Amino acid sequence: MVAGLSDREITADIIESCRQGDRDAFRALYEAYKDKVYSIALHFFHGDEAAASDITQQVFVKLLHGIGQFRGDAGFSTWLYRLVVNACMDGARRARPRDLPVNIAAVDGLAGPAAQEQDFAREQTARSVRAALSALPVKFRLPILLRYFDDLSYEEMAAAMNCSMGTVASRLNRGHKMLARKLESMR
């Protein structure tokens, strides 16, 4: 079994081997999906690396113990995204509201004043977008994260969020409008 497989290389044989307890098969699934799972959790929890790591670990523990529940009706990645969505939602219910962590990039001492100003403006913009996104209610934040950070299709999002594609479209539309209002002050 080769670690580092892509989505397309995850086959029914690998999933079946994982069901039978093959550690190499599980490692292949982990290597193929760990970054995507972590990315969703990181954005969902506003850049909180500890929370994203915890969620990633929880998802793969659930995957290891629950792989037998995967029926193959939908794609494996869709089933996995459902685990991620559920873990994030559970984590959000357990978590107390926290201040957003501030991740300020170190300023390069060799950069000129114009470059420093551009870097500062870019960081301020990114911080504003992260703050606006994190202020959205979960049901509007999650579709935006899945669509723009993980590039899921509407069909994949609907399966991951356990709702219809119309609901996905509606939530994305409302989320876009809410973000636009929150970011209006940046103009």
Same structural domain, 54 and 19: yes
Domain that holds residue 175: 102-187
- Structure token pair of residue 126: 């990114």
Task: Kindly report, residue by residue over 159-174, the tens digit of the pLDDT.
Answer: 888 899 999 999 999 9
pTM recorded for the entire structure: 0.61
Identify the band that residue 110 occupies on the pLDDT scale cut at 50, 70 and 90: very low
Predicted pLDDT of residue 14:
87
Based on the fold, state whether residues 186 and 126 are members of the same structural domain: yes
Extract the tokens encoding 76.
């494996």
4, 92: one domain: yes
Sign of CA dihedral 129, 56, 142, 148: positive
Same domain? For 136 and 90 the reply is no
pLDDT at 96 over 80: no
Do 30 and 112 lie in one domain? The reply is: no
pLDDT digit string (tens) for 49-68? Answer: 999 999 999 999 999 888 88
What is the per-residue burial (b if ≥16 Cβ within 10 Å, else e) of 60-97? bebbeeebeebeeeeebbbbbbebbbbbbeebbeeeee
CATH number of the CATH domain containing 89: 1.10.1740.10
| C-alpha–C-alpha distance, residues 137 and 29, integer Å | 31
8 and 79 share one domain: yes
Is residue 184 classed exposed, middle or buried when 0-12, 13-18 and 19+ CB atoms within 10 A define those classes? exposed
Q: Are residues 67 and 151 in the same domain?
A: no
At 57 the pLDDT is 94
